[in-house]
Structure 1
Amino acid sequence: MAGLFTPNLTETCHLLDAGAGVGYLSAAFLNHAHRLDLNRIELDAFEIDPSLHSQLTKTLVSYQTSLNFKVKLYPQDFIHAASDWLSGNLFAQPLPRYHYAILNPPYQKIHSHSPHRKALRQVGIETVNLYSAFIALSLLLLADRGQLVAIAPRSFCNGPYYRPFRKLLLEQAAIRQIHLFESRRQVFKNDNVLQENMILHLERGLQQGDVTISTSTDNTFHDLSQQDYPFHHIVSPSDPECFIHIPTSQESRPNSLSSKFRYSLADLGIQVSTGPVVDFRLKPHLRQMPDSETVPLIYPLHIQDGQINWPQPQSKKANAIALNIDTQKWLYSKGFYCVVRRFSSKEEKRRIIAGLVKPSCCQDSQFIGFENHLNVFHINKQGLPPVLARGLMILLNSTLIDQQFRQFSGHTQVNVTDLKQMRYPSLEVIGDLGHWSEEGDPLTQEAIDNKLTTLLQ
């Protein structure tokens, strides 16, 4: 992280370490200071946990004998201190314009009515997690051409909740480099963060150019690789959501194939919705097994090898839901549907796991229920044409789709917004996949990928 910084043409450097912990990131910066031609370094270290102050001081004090270095420890809440100063509060403690900021910010949700949310809104920051709040505030505290390097989860790259943060980031700074850790187990392994993690290098006031994307499996960097990409490959100029796509070295799809993925679901006339049955809210109507007064209730656990294995008598989840005036509005009509699990396990090979729902699942019922942990592809809450449903299931279980999804989502959750944002091949290609699936050949991963590649060439 410290090695990413470049000389700033300043002799006296103001350095910010927000959430300094025991000072290891600041120490790393100081170890690299000779590369930056700095005559004097003034560090502001924010750390709210008093139990860390002694070790933080011990880590940094040794540098005062070898460098022209001064440190000031701020024991207060960084969000409140920075927001007060940026908002023009007359009683706020003055802060300088920083030339460099190095961060390992805390990770925790910010509730909508919390004091932190109120403080952030005073300076025009709308975000939902402490890590993005720390990055946003640090960015606003930078001087022109100031640089920020932070390690953070990747969740801000997509999804509606982080849209204001992405827009602020892209308006205020240029992305110089993104380093992606492709294993969720290695970095933040003790923090239960179910998403990939990244190092982000930003420069405030710089005109956006190409972005360096580097990747490694983990923090040993033994398999480090990097490549420069035009910015429009990272953020599409036509995307109002400002999703940040991160190509990786594992994605070797030729341009001739990627160019065939150019249709949105809206272009194809297909809709996708989150399963409407929230089981704890309809608990009195759930049944372990179906009977004459129920309809099937499909959970993610029913998806197996692209098909729906229903019912599952040994499951702790319900297999059916009563059909009555209280439940019918949450049900779909009998038909062919493609469903996708909203969550994958931590190290599952594919993020998108799809299954095909057939009318035969419904037996004699005219309705079917989809539990809230599924995304459902439909047409006006009616089933899809059979060939389209089969083809869509095959497509969504392909490696090409999984690679596209990983470019802008590092989270284990697959949201409806993500599926709408993605691009798909033509209805003709999806239909051909559907016809092929009816031929009875085994639907192995290799067979699916080979067939899709053939159709796209």
Structure 2
Amino acid sequence: MLQFFDSSVPEAQPAVLPTGKAALGQYMTPAPIAAFMASLFPKNFTTFRLLDAGAGEGSLTHAFLNACCHAGSPSPHGEVSLIEYDAGMVQKLEKNLLQIVEGLSVTTHIHHTDFIEYASTLVAQKQRPFTHAILNPPYKKISSRSSHRALLRNAGIETVNLYTAFVALSLALLRPGGVLVAIIPRSFCNGLYYKPFRQYILRYAAIRRIHLFTSRTEAFKADKVLQENVILVLERESEQTPLDISMSKNGEMHEYREARYPFEDIVRPDDPERFIRIPDNQWEQGVLRGADRSLKSLDIEVSTGPVVDFRVKEYLRAMPQPEDAPLLYPGHFNGKTEWPKANFKKPNAVVRCPETMKWLYPNGHYVIVRRLSSKEEKRRVVAYHVRPEDFPGHPYLGFENHLNVFHRRKHGLSAELARGLALYLNSGFVDVLFRSFNGHTQVNATDLRSLPYPSSDTLEALGRWAAEQSELAQENVERHLKAVLA
């Protein structure tokens, strides 16, 4: 019988040098994570045909066979197809497999080839040979004009990164009821670019589990990868039922917790973006019945700031002249609005002229949200109320591209509505909701549109309440919001 990985033993060094790993998008799976991934497969099978896409040293195949043995089948019976592109890694894989399958009734096939080319050929031939797939795919963007992109489109897959391409193709090669376990970045859960991928997996599979590593630094610590990662378990052509959400800080399962959720809590039926939400133990605290409107129903829009500074360099000014428009960056908002800002690294103004007017908004009440924030920050969504009195004598404003702007047909909102909307966006309730689906540093307009909102009347009432307070301590704001929206 195979022996389990000893997580106390240092990982073997990969055959790929660090620069090669970056070029190929390869990061080796730590042994404890490989073992955990393998444990997530159903145990009710006697034979298998396993796909290990991007096999590396064979650690995932090793973990899969260990799990089979541990489940009570001392002699796993099946076939494994291991696909690996890197020649140096293939040499190590061949050597490792001699030990991995020694004494087992397991046939192995190593394919030294490009996985997208390999899998696309099988898809074109309508072959679906596998019952199981386990993978830690490479992370790298795919050029829109590359041969990979063309092969994927021919296979009915539209995606922008190698990791989602590997998952989609592996899923396409599974038989009905086949199970896929993959460790991948969380970035696919939201955003416009990954929407076709989300639609693809939700169309062809049921999600059985999502495991989140809550630390961005722990999962691939040896490779110094700063990335929120998840383990995704999919079952091909199966009925979607409630699914398990589990979390841990790292591969050793420190701070482990688990709960089961209705699928509708994870992918909302009325969400056209098909965002995949990962609730945590604060989820129930965040359910407020009074926040059930879409932004569109409030006749409010949110857009990325239209001024891209490097495209209007000749019109930028370090300090404003009377006829210029204030140009607002995230750095102008730090607890309060500070404009113009002395010794600011960015320009404070843009010349108001026919060439720039199409990017300027009339001065008024707006709400802005920074487009960049990390999970380590106290709040992911940081909103500010932009007030016209902060820019006296300036009839127009410029919002730079690193801001999201809430507006009404490129004009301002009422003072009460803007104040109430900013208050709501800065709440702990919104923070919990936002963190449930956003796993990267971007706060995009699409993400903000996906949030639920109170009615306009409620937001205006919040704005009036805020204006009457001598001090807006966060605990008082949270208490009032809960009373109003619960």
Shorter-normalised TM-score: what interval? over 0.9
Residue 133 of structure 1 aligns with which residue?
A: 165
Residue 5 of structure 1 aligns with which residue?
A: 41
How many angstroms does 1:8 deviate by?
A: 4.8
Residue 82 of structure 2 aligns with which residue?
A: 45
Q: Distance in 2 between matches of 1:140 and 1:296?
A: 52
CA contact (8 A) 2:327 2:348 kept: yes
Rate the CA distance shift 1:75–1:441 in 2: closer, same or farther, 3 A: farther
Q: Distance in 2 between matches of 1:201 and 1:304?
A: 41
Q: Distance in 2 between matches of 1:42 and 1:134?
A: 20
**Runs of 5+ consecutive residues of structure 1 not aligned to the other structure:** 90-94
Rate the CA distance shift 1:240–1:346 in 2: closer, same or farther, 3 A: closer
- What are the equivalent positions in structure 2 for 1:20-419 lying under 5 Å apart? 20-34=55-69, 35=71, 37=73, 39-88=76-125, 97-188=129-220, 195-253=227-285, 255=287, 257=288, 259-305=289-335, 307-345=336-374, 347-419=376-448
Which 10-residue stretch deviates more, 269-278 or 405-414?
405-414
Q: Distance in 2 between matches of 1:244 and 1:404?
A: 11
Secondary structure of 1:238 counterpart: coil
Q: Distance in 2 between matches of 1:151 and 1:159?
A: 19
Q: Distance in 2 between matches of 1:195 and 1:301?
A: 25
Which 10-residue stretch deviates more, 343-352 or 189-198?
189-198
Rate the CA distance shift 1:160–1:62 in 2: closer, same or farther, 3 A: same
Q: Distance in 2 between matches of 1:149 and 1:5?
A: 7
How many angstroms does 1:346 deviate by?
A: 5.4
CA contact (8 A) 1:303 1:354 kept: no
TM-score if structure 2 supplies the norm length?
0.88
Residue 459 of structure 2 aligns with which residue?
A: 430
How many angstroms does 1:254 deviate by?
A: 5.8
Which 10-residue stretch deviates more, 177-186 or 243-252?
243-252
CA contact (8 A) 2:242 2:261 kept: yes
Residue 33 of structure 2 aligns with which residue?
A: none
How many angstroms does 1:69 deviate by?
A: 2.1
Question: What do residues 345-373 of structure 1 show as CA deviations (whole Å, max 9, x unaligned)?
Answer: 45212111111111023221100000011
CA contact (8 A) 1:195 1:412 kept: no
Rate the CA distance shift 1:269–1:32 in 2: closer, same or farther, 3 A: same
How many angstroms does 1:206 deviate by?
A: 1.6
Q: Distance in 1 between matches of 2:72 and 2:350?
A: 66
CA contact (8 A) 1:8 1:36 kept: no
How many angstroms does 1:442 deviate by?
A: 3.2
Q: Distance in 2 between matches of 1:71 and 1:169?
A: 28
CA contact (8 A) 2:68 2:76 kept: no
Rate the CA distance shift 1:185–1:349 in 2: closer, same or farther, 3 A: farther
Secondary structure of 2:199 counterpart: helix
Q: Distance in 1 between matches of 2:238 and 2:426?
A: 40
Which 10-residue stretch deviates more, 227-236 or 66-75?
66-75
**Runs of 5+ consecutive residues of structure 2 not aligned to the other structure:** 1-36
Question: What do residues 108-149 of structure 1 show as CA deviations (whole Å, max 9, x unaligned)?
Answer: 111111110000011100111100000000001111211100
Report how many aligned residue pairs link the two structures: 448
Secondary structure of 1:161 counterpart: coil
Q: Distance in 2 between matches of 1:195 and 1:427?
A: 37
Counterpart residue type for residue 290 of structure 1 = P
RMSD of aligned residue pairs (Cα, Å) = 1.9
Secondary structure of 2:104 counterpart: coil
Counterpart residue type for residue 229 of structure 1 = Y
Counterpart residue type for residue 63 of structure 1 = I
Counterpart residue type for residue 60 of structure 1 = L
How many angstroms does 1:192 deviate by?
A: 7.8
Question: What do residues 162-189 of structure 1 show as CA deviations (whole Å, max 9, x unaligned)?
Answer: 2221111111111100111222222245
Q: Distance in 1 between matches of 2:403 and 2:192?
A: 19
**Aligned-pair identity (%):** 49
Counterpart residue type for residue 371 of structure 1 = E
Q: Distance in 2 between matches of 1:282 and 1:201?
A: 47
CA contact (8 A) 2:43 2:68 kept: no
User: 1:445 aligned to 2:477?
Assistant: no
Question: What do residues 423-449 of structure 1 show as CA deviations (whole Å, max 9, x unaligned)?
Answer: 111223322321222234333432322
How many angstroms does 1:47 deviate by?
A: 1.1
Secondary structure of 2:404 counterpart: strand
Secondary structure of 1:65 counterpart: coil
Which 10-residue stretch deviates more, 406-415 or 274-283?
406-415
Secondary structure of 1:118 counterpart: helix
Counterpart residue type for residue 56 of structure 1 = L
Question: What do residues 318-346 of structure 1 show as CA deviations (whole Å, max 9, x unaligned)?
Answer: 11111111111110001011000111145
Question: What do residues 2-35 of structure 1 show as CA deviations (whole Å, max 9, x unaligned)?
Answer: 10001353x3311111111122111111111121
Residue 92 of structure 1 aligns with which residue?
A: none
CA contact (8 A) 2:122 2:128 kept: no
Counterpart residue type for residue 289 of structure 1 = M
Which 10-residue stretch deviates more, 28-37 or 99-108?
28-37
Counterpart residue type for residue 293 of structure 1 = E
How many angstroms does 1:55 deviate by?
A: 2.4
Counterpart residue type for residue 70 of structure 1 = T
Q: Distance in 1 between matches of 2:128 and 2:265?
A: 35
How many angstroms does 1:57 deviate by?
A: 2.5
Secondary structure of 2:61 counterpart: helix
Counterpart residue type for residue 49 of structure 2 = H
Rate the CA distance shift 1:450–1:217 in 2: closer, same or farther, 3 A: farther
Rate the CA distance shift 1:193–1:337 in 2: closer, same or farther, 3 A: farther
Rate the CA distance shift 1:199–1:27 in 2: closer, same or farther, 3 A: same
